[in-house]
Amino acid sequence: MQNEVMKKLFLKIPCLSLSVVIVLSGCTHLATQPPSIALGSDPSLKCASLTVGVASTEIAIPSGAATIDSATWVTATDLVVAERGPTPASRVSPATPAFCKILGRIAPVSASAPPIVFQINLPSQWNGRSVQYGGGGFNGTLINAVGLPPAQRFDTPSPLAQGYVTLGTDSGHQTGPKDPPQAFALNAEALENFAHASYKKVRDVAVVITQRAYGRKPDKLYFMGSSEGGREGLTMAQRYPNDFDGIFSRVPVISWTGLQHAGLRNGLAIRDNAWLSPAHTKLVHEAVLAACDAEDGLVDGLIANPLGCRQLFDVGQLRCKANASSTCLTDAQIKAVQTLHTALKMPITLANGVSQYPARGPSGEDIPSFGPTGGWQSWWLGTEPPAFPPKMSNGIAWFYGAGAIQYFYARDPNADLTRYTVQANASRVMEVSNLMDSTDPDLSKFHAHGGKLVMLEHLADYAQSPYAGIEYFAAVQEKMGQTTTKKFARLFAAPGVDHVGAGAPANVDMLSVLVDWVERGKAPETLEVVEQEVKAPFAVKRALPLCQWPLWPRFKAGPIHTASSFECVRN
């Protein structure tokens, strides 16, 4: 779907990418750079020489060797903004300077497993740092690491344009156009690579290639990921605490096993006559606004305190008094909404003592749907009730969760989802939980390494519950103490924003935030998050303070589109 969207008409905007100044269609963005290291006296010749593979002994965990398939000098490209795209950020292809593109693969340990494909991008002038990009969904496609990282403002240059070495991977499997995206999990090594090993292996290979290219290893290594990529970032902090200096984890699918089982439960809840149409979704959303919108001091269509809204909104007030219609909810529909708003209690205790998956909502129910962008229709409801087997027209959470149950847990593509139980598959559920659930609260080794972690949750997210990340952060504070946690970790929460950054102000330059904290000791406090036009010069439509959880932005006075008109408050 994304490829088809990107074939639409493009708006091309000329720009120049220099080492200090980025020029975008008449406006400038200054990017302060440290002294740079050249990719040889002739970068294109140096690039062509970087075709020697990397031995398995250079990778710190069991692995095959890495083969370099190509080393290509790529010429600079201009900024391109697509007319449409599955997410706001996907429409923006930032200006890219000339660089060396390394494509390669890491051989599996077992011949039955697929290789790990990777891409490493080497700038002609290197700033001594690297950024590893996380993936998304079930991965299965190569992350090329040339675009904007998660949450990045559209008017900032990409990390590659700022002089970072950048890298990404397919996480050890490729998903074909007709393949179920979860099918790879039937292979044990492919599943382990997806869980954690591929990101470590690619990281180690990139360090070797970087040293060959510039004569030294990176001074600082950063990881930035969203959704599945956010889980990967937390995985790196937990499993490989000495590998990264700064990690940004946005909307991480952190309690992975609970998430997939909640997707199954929530999908089964809307079978048949319990399914909600777009008109019903709008009805619920408007009722949520009526109950809660004014509570943050401003009637603007944004629920700034959704946790407080749970105490004010009662879906039962929408019950039909007579015949079913689009202006009321039936008992079955009310029960379905209540299911979504209720935590899933697992019948067994999962990895790291987790026993439930938190509720979702309220807020953001009717964010317009387009691919992964949107609220209930995109993620929960789809355009028709859940099918067996799942179809693309179903909600993404059902398509993902039901498939995960079949391939990861039941290990049977034809498993009857209506008969599946955790108890009957308890051993396998625990095995996958120990692999996939990035919920270990002991980050003492990451802290001792000097690592810094920034998490960001979107409070109108229906792809996953933002309260899973919030509960994880609380577990870290309980394990390590709030004073110690504050020295190396922050959790921010953006109200009204869906999973991919639509619905409310969602953009912030988190790479600079990480660099300031890691390299200059400037810990982030309240930040500013913006909503921008998706066209150059990317004017800011609205700004809000990005508060540290559990604070939220309350309007005090002044222009409603300005962050300074709000203050971060506590319930």
Q: How far is CA 446 from CA 55, 205, 206, 219, 441, in A?
A: 27, 21, 20, 17, 11
Q: How far apart are CA 478 and CA 506, in angstroms?
A: 29
Q: Count CB atoms within 10 A of the CB of residue 216.
A: 11
Pick out the chain residues at pLDDT < 70. 1-34
Query: Exposed, middle or buried, 504 (CB in 10 Å: 0-12/13-18/19+)?
Result: buried
The CA-based angle 30-132-7, given to 5 degrees, is 75
Distance of alpha carbon 82 from alpha carbon 4, whole angstroms: 12
Give the helix/strand (H/E) hosting 489.
strand 489-494
- Note whether 298 and 291 are within 8 A (CB): no
Residues composing the chain: 571
> Residue 289 is inside which H or E element, if any?
helix 278-292
> How far is Cα 446 from Cα 363, in angstroms, rounded to an integer?
35
Task: Name the residue type at position 16.
Answer: L
Under 8 Å between Cβ of 330 and 342: no
Contact status, residue 475 vs residue 443, Cβ threshold 8 Å: no
Q: What is the pLDDT of residue 272?
A: 87
Please return the burial class of 482, using the count of CB atoms within 10 Å of its CB with bins 0-12, 13-18 and 19+: exposed
Tokens of 441: 């609260």
Return all residues near 178 (Cβ < 8 A) that are at least 6 apart.
none
CA end-to-end distance (rounded Å), the chain: 42
| pLDDT computed for residue 33 by the predictor | 53
Instruction: Supply the pLDDT for residue 274.
Output: 97
Contact 94, 157 (CB under 8 A): yes
> Do residues 92 and 231 touch, judged by C-beta distance below 8 A?
no
Locate 14 and state its tokens: 């000329």
Token representation of residue 116: 């790990």
Q: Which residue has the tokens 């004569």?
A: 215
What's the predicted TM-score (pTM) here? Answer: 0.94
Positive or negative CA dihedral for 73, 76, 79, 84?
Answer: negative
Q: 94 phi and psi, to 5 degrees?
A: -70, 160
Instruction: From residue 244, give the alpha-carbon distance in Å to each of 131, 149, 157, 207, 485.
Output: 9, 16, 22, 12, 17
Tell me the per-residue pLDDT of 304-357, one tens digit each, with 9 for 90 and over. 999 999 999 999 999 999 899 999 999 999 999 999 999 999 999 999 999 999
pLDDT in tens, 222-236: 999 999 999 999 999
Q: Vertex 387, ends 386 and 388: CA angle to 5°?
A: 130
What are the DSSP E strand ranges found in 107-208?
A: 116-123, 125-126, 129-133, 165-169
Around 306, how many Cα atoms within 13 Å sit in the side-chain half-sphere?
A: 26
Position 546 scores a pLDDT of 98
pLDDT tens digits, one per residue of 232-250: 999 999 999 999 999 999 9
